[in-house]
Amino acid sequence: MLLTKLALFIIPFWAYLASANQSPVMSKDSNVKEVRILQDFYDKVNNNNYTLVKYYTTWCSHCKKLKPVFDTMSKEHTELDVSALLPTTFFNKTFDKLPKFFDEKVNIDYVSVECEIFGSFEICKRWPGYPVIEFIPPNTETSIQISKSSVKEDVEEEEEMPTWLKVFTKIDEWFTSLFAGSMDLDDVSFVERSYEYKGSRTEPKIKDFISKSIGNDYERLLIDYLIANEDNLSKDDEILKTYKEWKQSLSNKFIAVNEILQLLSAEAQTLSETELRDILFQKRILSTLIDLDEQERLRNIKQDEL
């Protein structure tokens, strides 16, 4: 019995090694690209398109239910006009013109990763169960690393990984360690900008999640832009000016975060969606600024020690 399971697990692993020269597989009724080697995954994730990734295993029943939804979306939901999806109100002010970080239309690629094959790599090891849907924005150049926030809605259960699979994953890890070099690729820095989907796995909900994530991604790039350019006097745009005013009006970042948290706990119900989004945006900037201060502080301590 044990040997059979062992064989079942190792065979896909060898199949994976054997297929190392093949490109991603695509079937007729879907445009989902099935990842066969790690490099395919990283090529997809780091290009200019947004990527919706499905992590699955062949044994999980929720994964089977998700398949037709994902396949249909990969055929029909591949291009989005984002101009209507992007927020325009920031710091309690609505702007006609905001910095552009991507074209009005964005493409969405669909990728699936079989985690029986990639179980020993970080891309799969991160997940406690399957299926998982992750939305990964393009690898746009950013000048600072900012903290991520995730879009959370009504949570649907994930299937726990059976114990035997955990054990075989360990064995698989050991096998993989024999092939040094492939690990170099296993760089999950894309997680900084990705969004994990937590809602019910239906088409409208997933589409809504994609739209919200794009709006969130725009905010991520905007925060990066504001922080990177606040001292640049030759930049002359309204939002940068408003940001500087907002920042000057803060007495202290921690107090400001605390005020926001209090406002959210007391009045979240009475705020409009736009106001709520804006306040969360301000909270996100404050966390980023606090994070940057902390990094700076640690750098200074290190320098003092030298």
Ligand X SMILES: *[C@@H]1O[C@H](CO)[C@@H](O)[C@H](O)[C@H]1NC(C)=O
Identity of the residue, 107 or 287, whose beta carbon is nearer to ligand X in the bound complex: 107
Report 248-277 residues binding ligand X (CB under 6 A). 275
| Contact mark string toward ligand X, 22..51, x via CB under 6 A | -------------------------x-x--
Given candidates 21, 61, 163, 234, which one binds ligand X under the rule CB under 6 A?
234
CA geometry: angle at 116 spanning 110 and 122, to 5°? 75
Identity of the residue, 172 or 217, whose beta carbon is nearer to ligand X in the bound complex: 217
Identity of the residue, 6 or 240, whose beta carbon is nearer to ligand X in the bound complex: 240
Binding segment toward ligand X, per CB under 6 A, in 52-60, 167-175, 231-239, 248-256: 231-239
Identity of the residue, 169 or 282, whose beta carbon is nearer to ligand X in the bound complex: 282
Q: C-beta of 96: minimal distance to ligand X in Å? A: 16
Contact flag: residue 232 with ligand X (CB under 6 A) = yes
Q: C-beta of 4: minimal distance to ligand X in Å? A: 40
Identity of the residue, 237 or 291, whose beta carbon is nearer to ligand X in the bound complex: 237
Given candidates 19, 107, 182, 287, which one binds ligand X under the rule CB under 6 A?
107
Contact flag: residue 235 with ligand X (CB under 6 A) = yes
Contact flag: residue 237 with ligand X (CB under 6 A) = no
Spatial distance between the Cα atoms of 59 and 45, rounded to a whole number of angstroms:
26
| Contact mark string toward ligand X, 272..301, x via CB under 6 A | ---x--------------------------
Report 62-91 residues binding ligand X (CB under 6 A). 78
Helix/strand/coil (H/E/C) assignment for every residue in the chain: CHHHHHHHHHHHHHHHHHCCCCCCECCCCCCCEECCCHHHHHHHHCCCCEEEEEEECCCCHHHHHHHHHHHHHHHHCCEEECCCCCCCEECCEECCCCCCCCCCEEEEEEEEEECCCCCCCHHHHCCCEECEEEEECCCCCCCCCCCCCCCCCCCCCCEECCHHHHHHHHHHHHHHHCCCCHHHHCCCHHHHHCEEECCCCCHHHHHHHHHHHHHHHHHHHHHHHHHHHCCCCCCCCHHHHHHHHHHHCCCCHHHHHHHHHHHHHHHHHHCCHHHHHHHHHHHHHHHHHHHHHHHHHHHHHHHHHC
Binding segment toward ligand X, per CB under 6 A, in 81-89, 188-196, 229-237, 253-261: 229-237
User: Using CB under 6 A as the criterion, which residues of the chain lie in contact with ligand X when the complex forms?
Assistant: 47, 49, 78, 92, 107, 109, 232, 234-235, 275
